[in-house]
Amino acid sequence: MILVVTGNTTSTLMEPSSHPMYPKTMNCLLSRKNFQSLSGLDMVDYSPFIPRMLTDVQIGRRYTFPLYCLGLKKITVFDGNGDHTYVLLKRRDR
């Protein structure tokens, strides 16, 4: 099993207008279709997530940190429009 963490190419959060860092730092991202067509590997799961803790920091809600430390708030949550993607790949049987 291989876990790949990458950016979600279909997310609106990846547009240059929403976050100026992405176009400058990410120049090669694979989409879901690319992962499905890898030879020798089968895609088991493709799940987009959004990092809530990072979002809270960026908009100035630092008071929420104790909630993360106590486990009352999740650091990342599943979101179809999330900018982070976790891809689980499995080696194809020969």
For residue 21, pLDDT over 60 is answered with no
Q: What is the pTM of this model?
A: 0.66
Residue with the larger pLDDT of the pair 57 and 41: 41
For residue 17, pLDDT over 70 is answered with no
Q: What pLDDT shows up at residue 28?
A: 66
CA–CA separation, 82 vs 9, rounded Å?
10
State the pLDDT confidence band at 94, using cuts at 50, 70 and 90: low
Q: What pLDDT shows up at residue 66?
A: 82
The count of residues in the chain is 94
Render the chain in DSSP notation, one character per residue: -EEEEEE-TT-GGGSTTT-THHHHH------HHHHHT-TTEEEEEEEEEEEHHHHHHHTT-GGGHHHHHTTSS-SEEE-TT-SEEEEEEEEPP-
Q: What pLDDT shows up at residue 81?
A: 82
